[in-house]
Chains A and B, each alone.
Chain A
Amino acid sequence: MKKALEIFLGILTAMGGFVEIGELVFSVDGGAKFGYSLLWVVIVGTVGIMTYGEMSGRIAAVTSQPVFFLIRQRAGYAAGLTTLLAALAVSLLTCAAEIGGVAIILKLLFGGNYFLLVIIALVFFLTVVWFLSFQAIERVFGLLGLLILVFVAAAFYLDNNWSQIASGFVPNLPAVETSKDYLVYFYFVVALLSSLMLPYETYFYAAGALEDGWNPSDVNLNRVIVIIGFAFGALLAVALVVVGASYFKPMLIEPQLPGTVALAPASVFGKVGLILGLLGMFFAFGGAAIENALSGAYNTAHFLGWTWGKFRPPKDAPRFHLAWILIFLIATLVILTGVDPVQVVEYSVIFSVVILPLTYAPMLSVANDPDEMGPHVNGILAKSLGWFYLILLSIAAVAALPLLVITNGGKG
């Protein structure tokens, strides 16, 4: 019974980190532009994050070492520092975008001045993360984040072309009007893939495994949580693409604002659907902001050897706590410049594709190492998938920046 509860809560956490403002907007916008053609990317990305999420959890359980411990040991100080700085930059930008997204949702629910709501969101996050335990944060944001499932429900009631949906799951090229649109499509493939495999998901997941005190006997638990949790997350991503294709595309709407996305559940379920959609987004974005700030602090503490962890009194891990507080503060300053959160997360998603191989290569190296992992070393499946995604992401990393420039930020 206790195990079942632990599995359920673990799944919630895995699901929770899946949806954030970037992935939400890319999925729906991608569906609105290209119909169901991007659905295969959701599957590819989900299997990818399952592969590396499971690996990072297994490594943490078996070696009790978090991701950036390994990066420093395997890659050395200089290369490791480069990865750390890149990961911090991505987490900072993503956190900023999520804070902006939360402020937008608050404005849509209650009205008010956007900049004031950004400050309110900051105070909310600082208070929640400071006073709640790691497990409590996971549970609150995980459970309340389930509200976003209203999008899955709404997707079922739309006027869907089910046979076209099915064929979207096979890698394909959409029917487009100009040849430039193919480049935009590839940009969305890269961006969606990246937003599904954002590195903070593995950093935070492994750090969480350590906060929860996992040991080698938790390896199977890890596998179950990762597969079921991320599968549910994928269901949500699929629903978002379907919403984009079945609801927005026929109306020639390409959503660039989170509020626009909420029109879909509003159509199907009325005001209740609208409120559930907005609240779901609030907790999804909020959870992502927290995960990014904390993972930045974890990464820095793990890399530099500081005392870390929310399970002790803050005064015993002062640098770790100061780190996440600073990340929230700097992220808020970024958003207060008035920059569009969706633009910010777009850049952070593209930039993170470039650093994904830097993060995953040491992880794969450790998980393949029988000296470190003992009997829990990568089997043939994990090894093949690990290499496949490392190569795929390296290709995506090279293509990302040119595509961003040529397609004017994915617009054409």
Chain B
Amino acid sequence: MRTRDRNFWIQTAVIAAVIASLVAVFAYSETKPLKADELAVQIADLRSLCSSGKKMFEQKASGELTDAFFANQIELMHDNVTSLREDLDTSNAEPNLRNALGRSRELAARVDVAFYRLSENGLSEQAAVEAGGLVEPLKQLEDQLKQEAEK
């Protein structure tokens, strides 16, 4: 009986330690300030979404998409944009990235507005142009952050 009980407690302790350390690592990674490459990832997502949004508008205009597809895909993409923006608004970044974070938040806000307008009939064309125009600045910021991460 004794050996079995001892084994039980040893195994439980090991499993508990593993779980505790996983939780700790996860909690730490959620709260620590963003690094350059992590920020670059989010900018890349925004850039990709902007380019898709613009392309989708063009395809809808040439009749290649159904109305249902356009409306619902824009909605799904917009959800992603909003959650990226919220992430950026609520996170901290490392001290040397203050400017980059500020710029990221500014661009994210513009992407959010563009996507909001893409689903409004009267405003979509202008919104598509705006979204397309944001691809280049987002890419530049992304490349800048990647270079920063290499240092």
Contacts and interface: CB of A to CB of B under 8 A. Distances in A.
| Touch between chains A and B, by CB atoms below 8 Å | yes
Interface in A225-265: 251-257, 259-260, 262-263
Given A108-B73, A179-B150, A253 B55 contact: yes
Contact of A257 (B37, B44, B59, B76): B76
Contacts of B51: 251-253
Contact of A263 (B59, B71, B76, B149): B59
Interface string A252-293: 111111011011001100110111001000000000000000
Interface in B40-78: 40-41, 44-45, 47-48, 51-52, 55-56, 59, 63-66, 68-69, 71-73, 76-77
B124 interface: no
A411 B143 CA distance: 14
Nearest to A259: B73
B72 A412 contact: no
B145 to A, nearest CB: 10
Contacts of B150: 178-180
A412 B146 CA distance: 9
A104 interface: yes
Contacts of A278: 69
A265 to B, nearest CB: 9
A256 B77 CA distance: 10
Contacts of B72: 107-108, 111, 259
Given A180-B150, A275-B66, A263 B52 contact: yes
B80 interface: yes
A408 interface: yes
A262 B147 CA distance: 33
A257 B77 CA distance: 8
A266 B38 contact: no
A109 B68 CA distance: 6
Contact of A259 (B40, B45, B69, B147): B69
B64 A266 contact: yes
A347 B59 CA distance: 33
A362 to B, nearest CB: 25
Given A180-B150, A256-B45, A109 B69 contact: yes
A115 to B, nearest CB: 13
B135 interface: yes
A110 interface: yes
Contacts of A255: 48, 52
A177 interface: yes
Contact of B41 (A110, A273, A412): A412
B55 A251 contact: yes
B104 to A, nearest CB: 15
A373 to B, nearest CB: 38
A9 B65 CA distance: 33
B66 A271 contact: yes
Given A110-B68, A252-B51, A178 B146 contact: yes
Nearest to A269: B64
Contact of A254 (B44, B56, B69): B44
Contact of A408 (B38, B64, B73): B38
A31 B150 CA distance: 24
Interface in A176-224: 177-180
A88 to B, nearest CB: 19
A125 B71 CA distance: 26
A252 B64 contact: no
B139 interface: yes
A260 to B, nearest CB: 5
Given A108-B72, A109-B68, A252-B139, 15 more contacts: A107-B76, A110-B68, A111-B72, A180-B150, A253-B48, A253-B51, A254-B45, A257-B76, A257-B77, A259-B72, A260-B52, A260-B77, A263-B52, A267-B59, A274-B65
In the complex, the 9 A-B pairs of residues with the closest C-beta atoms, listed nearest first: A411-B41, A259-B73, A254-B48, A266-B64, A253-B51, A270-B64, A252-B51, A111-B68, A253-B52
Interface of B: 37-38, 40-41, 44-45, 47-48, 51-52, 55-56, 59, 63-66, 68-69, 71-73, 76-77, 80, 135, 139, 143, 146-147, 149-150
5 contacts: A253-B51, A253-B52, A255-B48, A266-B64, A273-B64
